[in-house]
């Protein structure tokens, strides 16, 4: 895996019990690791796992889900814990809970609360290249434009179509959203697992669309029960390799880390970037080969 390619990848992981033994076998420090916040886990588990990964030497980006935080006091306690572990970057989402557990019902409120607590945190927000099953395109764009001034980066939801991702970058640029974009792609994973997790991961809409869409095409091509993530990554890089908003790849691993090193080793070299210096100067994130 080249150094140029290694500097342009984040891994998304679930805070499972075996994560701390499995991740070092697949991904070296100071690799960038994004830690999910699932409703049945809650933010405390995400923050604890993120702090432990940071102490191991990883550049750790915990997810904070607005609807899962019960109070301002809990939020401040979580942020203090992360600061104590040296974590300075967060990914802020609304979360999958149907009703808020506390005062934050959407990610914009949580962004404001975190910024008020400490402007030192770098904050990432989510983007949806293929839309959202519960929100219109205008609602998504309005929300994105409201949050973008408080954010330092954008991570797209997992998408299976390079043209759709390319169209999305053009669309947000037209709305004057010029954040570095980390393109969400699946890691090595079976089609069966993609289907079973699709709704929870927010790609249920893609599962219901016609066969011509990226996800549907992956499911109905037949003959291969594993999704070809490397092919999608090559297609995305071909579409976006010279785009100034393209920061790199955000790989949804599903904690299936055994086959990950081979995928990371195949990542294409990033072309000379015109990203802001703070992004272009990110540390190298080498994979285990």
Q: What is the DSSP letter of 176?
A: T
| Nearest-5° Cα angle at 286, 178 to 238 | 45
**Both tokens of residue 156?**
């797209």
Q: What is the mean pLDDT of residues 159-179?
A: 93
The overall average pLDDT reported for the chain is: 83
At 189 the three-state DSSP class reads strand
pLDDT at 280: 36
In the predicted structure, residue 5 carries a pLDDT above the cut 80: no
Distance of alpha carbon 209 from alpha carbon 229, whole angstroms: 20
Who wins on pLDDT, 3 or 263? 263
Structure tokens at 88: 């300075």
Domains for the chain: give ranges and CATH numbers: 3-280 (3.20.20.220)
What pLDDT shows up at residue 126? 96
Mean pLDDT within 215-232? 63
Q: What are phi and psi of 78, to 5 degrees?
A: -65, -45
**Is the model more confident about 273 or about 98?**
98
Which pairing describes strands 9-13 and 122-127: parallel, antiparallel, or unpaired?
unpaired
The predicted-structure confidence for 32-86, as pLDDT tens digits, reads as follows: 999 999 888 899 999 999 999 999 999 999 999 999 999 999 999 999 999 999 9
| pTM as predicted | 0.84
Find the mean pLDDT for residues 133-148: 89
Tokens of 119: 């402007």
pLDDT of 23 higher than 90: yes
pLDDT at 285 exceeding the cut of 50: no
Find the mean pLDDT for residues 278-284: 34
Non-local CB neighbours of 197 within 8 Å, separated by 6+ positions: 254
Q: Range with the lowest mean pLDDT among 137-151, 188-202, 246-260?
A: 188-202
* Both tokens assigned to 155: 């991570």
Q: Is the pLDDT of residue 29 over 90?
A: yes
């Amino acid at each position: 895996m080249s150094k140029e390619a290694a500097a342009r990848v984040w891994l998304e992981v679930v805070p499972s019990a075996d994560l701390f033994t499995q991740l070092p076998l697949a991904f070296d420090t100071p690799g960038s690791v994004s830690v999910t916040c699932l409703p049945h886990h809650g933010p405390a588990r995400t923050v604890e796992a993120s702090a432990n990964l940071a102490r191991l030497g990883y550049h750790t980006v915990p997810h904070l889900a607005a609807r899962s935080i019960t109070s301002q006091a809990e939020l401040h306690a979580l942020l203090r814990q992360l600061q104590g572990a040296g974590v300075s970057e967060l990914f802020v989402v609304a979360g999958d809970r149907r009703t808020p557990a506390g005062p934050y019902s959407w990610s914009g409120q949580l962004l404001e609360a975190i910024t008020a607590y400490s402007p030192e945190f770098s904050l990432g927000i989510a983007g949806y290249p293929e839309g959202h099953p519960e929100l219109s395109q205008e609602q998504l764009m309005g929300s994105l434009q409201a949050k973008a001034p408080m954010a330092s980066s954008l991570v797209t939801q997992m998408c299976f179509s390079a043209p759709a991702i390319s169209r999305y970058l053009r669309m947000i640029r037209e709305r004057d959203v010029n954040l570095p974009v980390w393109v969400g792609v699946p890691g090595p994973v079976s089609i069966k697992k993609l289907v079973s997790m699709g709704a929870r991961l927010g790609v249920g809409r893609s599962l219901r669309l016609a066969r011509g869409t990226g996800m549907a095409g992956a499911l109905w091509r037949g003959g291969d029960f594993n999704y070809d993530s490397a092919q999608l990554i090559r297609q995305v890089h071909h579409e976006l390799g010279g785009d100034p908003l393209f920061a790199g790849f955000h790989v949804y691993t599903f904690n299936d880390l055994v086959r990950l090193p081979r995928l990371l080793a195949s990542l294409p070299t990033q072309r000379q970037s015109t990203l802001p210096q703070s992004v272009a100067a990110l540390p190298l994130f080498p994979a285990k080969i």
